[in-house]
C-alpha cells in the first residue's frame, strides 16, 4: 500500500515538474521572441530595412498581439508616406505560414493600400480584384479599384467597372455622376488627339447618363464658340440653368462668344439670360464688361440694379466708367480686381485652386469645387 502511495506521489511530482519545465520553456521562447521582435523594430526605425526584414522573417510564430502591432506599424508608415516600409511589414506578415485567414485578408487589404498610396496601381489592382470575392471586403475593394482606375486615368476600365457595381452611390457620389465624368475625361483625351467627332459623341453619352452633367454642357459650349455661336449659346443656356454659378466660371468665354461674333441678336439673348439669372453673389467683372458694352458703353443700370447688394458692383462700376481716362491707378485697380476676382475651394476638404477643376486632387471627390469671389473673401466696412 505504502509503495503504491509512494509511486503515486512520484508520478504527481514528475507531472508537476514536467509542466513547470514546459511553461518555463514557453516563457523563455516568448522572451527571446519579444527581444528579437524589438530588435527588428529598432532596425526598421534606423532605416536598416534589410536587417529588419531578416529578423522579422525569422520570427515565424507570431502571436496575436504582435500581429496587431505589425498592422498598426504598417499603417503608421503608410500615413507618413514611407510606403516601402509599410509594404515590407505587410509582406512580412503574409510570408508567415499558418496565418489565420482573417489576418491574411486584412494584411492583403493593407498591402493593397500601400501599393495604391505608392502609385503602384497594377499591384494594388491585382490584390483588390482577388480580395473582393470576400464579402466583408467587397465594398471597400470596389471603391479602391475604381479610384485606382481614376488615378491611373484608365477611363475605359472606370466606365466598365462602375457600370457593374451593385451600389448606386460610390464614395458619396451617385454612380451616374461618376460615369458622366468618365465620359467627359474620355472627351478630353479625344480632344487632345484632335478627334472632334469622337469628343462630341462621348460628351453626348455623358449627358445621356446624367442629364445634369454641367461639365459636358460646358465643354460643348466652349467647343462651339468659334464655329457655331447659336449652338454655343444653347449649351451655355443649358449649363447656367443647371447651376447659375457657371455664369462666374465661364464669364470670360461669354465675353469671347460676344466679341468673336459681334452679332446683336446673339448679344440680346446673352443679355436677357444674364439679366434673368443675376443675383448679388453672381457679380463678375467679365459679365459687367459685357453688359457695359451691350449698353452702348454706359453703366448697365438694369444689371446693376439686380446685383447692387454686392459692394464690389459699385466699386467696379465707378472705376470702369473712368477706364478710358488713362488714370493708371484706376486701371491697375480694375486689373487687380479682375485677375483675383475668382478662386476655387473644395467643399469637402477645403483644398483651394486658382482654376476650376472637376476632381479634387486632395480628397479625390468629384464636383466638390465651388467658386469663391473677392466679395466672399473680403469684408468692406460700410
Ligand atoms: Zn477635396
SS3 sequence of the chain? CHHHHHHHHHHHHHHHHHHHHHHHHHHHHHHHHHHHHHHHHHHHHCCCHHHHHHHHHHCCCCCHHHHHHHHHHHHHHHHCCCHHHHHHHHHHHHCCCCCCHHHHHHHHHHHHHHHHHCCCHHHHHHHHHHHCCCHHHHHHHHHHHHHHHHHCCCHHHHHHHHHHCCCCEECCEEHHHHHHHHHHHHHHHHHHCCCHHHHHHHHHHHHHHCCCCHHHHHHHHHHHCCCCHHHHHHHHHHHHHHCCCHHHHCHHHHHHHHHHHCCHHHHHHHHHHHHHHCCHHHCCHHHHHHHHHHCCCCCCHHHHHHHCCCHHHHHHHHHHHCHHHCCHHHHHHHHHHHHHCEEEEECCCCCEECCCCCECCCCCCECCEEEEEHHHHCCCCC
Q: Which residue has the higher pLDDT, 322 or 147?
A: 147
Query: How many Å apart are CA 165 and CA 76, to the nearest integer?
Result: 31
In the chain, which segments carry CATH 1.25.40? Answer: 60-151
pLDDT digits (tens, 9 = 90+) for 67-76: 777 887 888 7
Question: Averaged over 108-133, what is the pLDDT?
Answer: 96
Q: Which residue has the higher pLDDT, 21 or 361?
A: 361
Q: How confident is the model at residue 11 (pLDDT cuts 50, 70, 90)?
A: low
Q: How confident is the model at residue 64 (pLDDT cuts 50, 70, 90)?
A: low
**347: CB partners within 8 A, 6+ apart:** 368, 369, 370
- Kindly give the distance from the C-alpha atom of residue 285 to the centroid of ligand 1, in angstroms, as a whole number: 27
- Kindly give the distance from the C-alpha atom of residue 90 to the centroid of ligand 1, in angstroms, as a whole number: 29
- Kindly give the distance from the C-alpha atom of residue 79 to the centroid of ligand 1, in angstroms, as a whole number: 18
- Kindly give the distance from the C-alpha atom of residue 310 to the centroid of ligand 1, in angstroms, as a whole number: 28
- Kindly give the distance from the C-alpha atom of residue 362 to the centroid of ligand 1, in angstroms, as a whole number: 5
Give the pLDDT of residue 4.
Answer: 61
- Kindly give the distance from the C-alpha atom of residue 165 to the centroid of ligand 1, in angstroms, as a whole number: 24
- Kindly give the distance from the C-alpha atom of residue 294 to the centroid of ligand 1, in angstroms, as a whole number: 38
- Kindly give the distance from the C-alpha atom of residue 66 to the centroid of ligand 1, in angstroms, as a whole number: 36
Give the pLDDT of residue 15.
Answer: 46
Question: Averaged over 256-266, what is the pLDDT?
Answer: 96
- Kindly give the distance from the C-alpha atom of residue 327 to the centroid of ligand 1, in angstroms, as a whole number: 42
**Which CATH fold topology does 60-151 show?**
1.25.40
Give the pLDDT of residue 18.
Answer: 44
Which grid cell is 335?
A: 486689373
- Kindly give the distance from the C-alpha atom of residue 373 to the centroid of ligand 1, in angstroms, as a whole number: 18
Q: How confident is the model at residue 322 (pLDDT cuts 50, 70, 90)?
A: confident
- Kindly give the distance from the C-alpha atom of residue 232 to the centroid of ligand 1, in angstroms, as a whole number: 31
Specify the pTM: 0.80
- Kindly give the distance from the C-alpha atom of residue 275 to the centroid of ligand 1, in angstroms, as a whole number: 32
- Kindly give the distance from the C-alpha atom of residue 350 to the centroid of ligand 1, in angstroms, as a whole number: 6
Q: Inform me whether the pLDDT recorded for 82 exceeds 70.
A: yes
- Kindly give the distance from the C-alpha atom of residue 240 to the centroid of ligand 1, in angstroms, as a whole number: 23
- Kindly give the distance from the C-alpha atom of residue 363 to the centroid of ligand 1, in angstroms, as a whole number: 4
Q: How confident is the model at residue 310 (pLDDT cuts 50, 70, 90)?
A: confident
Give all strands of the β-sheet with 369-373 in edge-to-edge order: 352-353, 342-346, 369-373
- 228-247 burial, b at 16+ Cβ within 10 Å, e below that, comes to ebeebbbbbebbbeeebbbb
- Kindly give the distance from the C-alpha atom of residue 369 to the centroid of ligand 1, in angstroms, as a whole number: 7
- Kindly give the distance from the C-alpha atom of residue 366 to the centroid of ligand 1, in angstroms, as a whole number: 8
Give the pLDDT of residue 154.
Answer: 96
Amino acid at each position: 500500500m505504502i509503495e503504491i502511495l509512494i509511486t503515486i506521489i512520484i508520478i504527481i511530482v514528475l507531472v508537476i515538474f514536467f509542466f513547470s519545465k514546459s511553461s518555463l520553456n514557453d516563457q523563455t521562447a516568448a522572451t527571446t521572441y519579444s527581444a528579437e521582435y524589438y530588435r527588428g523594430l529598432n532596425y526598421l526605425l534606423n532605416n536598416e530595412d534589410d536587417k529588419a526584414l531578416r529578423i522579422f522573417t525569422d520570427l515565424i510564430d507570431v502571436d496575436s498581439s504582435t500581429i496587431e502591432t505589425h498592422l498598426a506599424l504598417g499603417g503608421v508608415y503608410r500615413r507618413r508616406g514611407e510606403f516601402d516600409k509599410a509594404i515590407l511589414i505587410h509582406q512580412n506578415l503574409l510570408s508567415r505560414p499558418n496565418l489565420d485567414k482573417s489576418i491574411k485578408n486584412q494584411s492583403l487589404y493593407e498591402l493593397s493600400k500601400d501599393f495604391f498610396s505608392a502609385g503602384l496601381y497594377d499591384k494594388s489592382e491585382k490584390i483588390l480584384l482577388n480580395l473582393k470575392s470576400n464579402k466583408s471586403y467587397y465594398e471597400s475593394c470596389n471603391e479602391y479599384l475604381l479610384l485606382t482606375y481614376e488615378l491611373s486615368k484608365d477611363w475605359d476600365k472606370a466606365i466598365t467597372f462602375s457600370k457593374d457595381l451593385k451600389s448606386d452611390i460610390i464614395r458619396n457620389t451617385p454612380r451616374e455622376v461618376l460615369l458622366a465624368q468618365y465620359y467627359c475625361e474620355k472627351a478630353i483625351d479625344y480632344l487632345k488627339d484632335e478627334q472632334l467627332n469622337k469628343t462630341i459623341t462621348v460628351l453626348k453619352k455623358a449627358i445621356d447618363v446624367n442629364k445634369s452633367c454641367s461639365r459636358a454642357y460646358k465643354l460643348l459650349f466652349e467647343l462651339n464658340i468659334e464655329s457655331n455661336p447659336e449652338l454655343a449659346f444653347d449649351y451655355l443656356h443649358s449649363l447656367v440653368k443647371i447651376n447659375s454659378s457657371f455664369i462666374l466660371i465661364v464669364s470670360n468665354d461669354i465675353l469671347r462668344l460676344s466679341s468673336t461674333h459681334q452679332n446683336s441678336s446673339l448679344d440680346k439673348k446673352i443679355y436677357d439670360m444674364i439679366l434673368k439669372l443675376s443675383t448679388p453673389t453672381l457679380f463678375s467683372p467679365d459679365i459687367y464688361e459685357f453688359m457695359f458694352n451691350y449698353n452702348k458703353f454706359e453703366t448697365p443700370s438694369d444689371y446693376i440694379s439686380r446685383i447692387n447688394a454686392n459692394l464690389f458692383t459699385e466699386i467696379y462700376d465707378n472705376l470702369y466708367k473712368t477706364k478710358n481716362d488713362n488714370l493708371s491707378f484706376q486701371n491697375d485697380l480694375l486689373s487687380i480686381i479682375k485677375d483675383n476676382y475668382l478662386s476655387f475651394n473644395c467643399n469637402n476638404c477645403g483644398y483651394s485652386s486658382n482654376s476650376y477643376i472637376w476632381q479634387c486632387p486632395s480628397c479625390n471627390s468629384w464636383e466638390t469645387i465651388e467658386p469663391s469671389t473677392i466679395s466672399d473673401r473680403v469684408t468692406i466696412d460700410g
